Amino acid sequence: MVAEKSSGFTHNRGSLGFWVFVVVCAYFGFALYMLVPSALFANELISHYALYQGLMKVPWWIVLFYSSELSGLVAGILRLVAGFFALYSAVLFWRKKESAISLIRGKVSTALLFEGGYYLSLIPSVVLGFVFPLTGGGLWYFDTTPILVVLLVNGVACLTMVMVIPPFLFKLRSKIKQVSSSQDIVKWSCLTSISYLFVVFWFNYSISWVATLIPWARRAQPGMRVLLDPINLAGFLATVFGLFLIAIFGLMSTLPAIKKLPVELSLRRIGATIIAFGGYFVLMIFLYVLAGGYAEHPTTWYEIIVPHNPNLWCVTFLFLGLPLLASRKIRR
């Protein structure tokens, strides 16, 4: 186990456990919140099947379209189940601290399993993202959606998440379930966290911005000129460059644990990374409201960053980083 080197970490442990509980509450609560529109949309698709069938006409495309669009409901259910087990574990950890480790091991493993399933459920969207461009856009997909937008958002971004995230989650799950050494669990926890920073957030959101720079006549996407708006430019820079720097700083802060080096880890650096990460979502929500939301800017980015963003719960990381920032160093 990690041995504390300073009383500062011991002093802040109760606060840390509470904020872990808050973050997991947000994770579970937002999964429940996002499940509602997913269920309503799925109901609309099913109840209007005859209409969509008439628009699409090609049987195999209808199957692929419905598999992709209904996967959102499947993903929502999987994340909700993951959130339930994560929340139960967080409550025990907050109340019982280290004595709860043996009690929550199985629950955390189950949460990781369903979280991995959440990303695997994106596979139909990946297939659609590459098949639609191959058809030259000749099939119906929400009217005049540009081929490149579908390729980037459904294809490239989702494929990267499917290929990278589940393996790390399942590897971490195996380490926890097999009662591996704490050093191994810390290593794979860090690797999984860094993979989320680079792939789920920086790469995925940057791809969304690239898709926003593609001209789309029926939306407010005039191409590169979209960046002439100062609010758009701020969001672009914070995402493409700011998130990348946060991910790099997080990698450098956790590198000793990843390499299993016998050196001190700085909880302050890790806390600063977490605060900056949570602050990014605060900034994005602020810019979204300042810009007038999707109604005023119906672009790919404004559609994804708030209305269809399953990760807005990450705003609570801003508070989780505070007790870590107030801590000193620890030796593994």
Residue 37's CB is within 10 A of a number of other CB atoms, namely 14
Q: Tell me: the pLDDT tens digits for 222-255?
A: 999 999 999 999 999 999 999 999 999 999 999 9
Q: Tell me: the pLDDT tens digits for 89-129?
A: 999 988 877 777 878 889 999 999 999 999 999 999 999 99
Q: How many domains does the chain have?
A: 1
Judge whether residue 11 has pLDDT over 60: no
Of 43, 83, 85, nearest to 66 by C-alpha is: 43
* H helix or E strand, kind and range, residue 252: helix 243-259
pTM over 0.85? The answer is yes
Q: Are 330 and 265 in contact (CB under 8 A)?
A: yes
Give me the domain span that covers residue 258.
3-331
pLDDT band at residue 267 using 50, 70 and 90 as cut-offs: confident
- How many whole angstroms separate alpha carbon 228 and alpha carbon 244? 22
Side-chain half-sphere exposure of 181, counting CA atoms within 13 A = 7
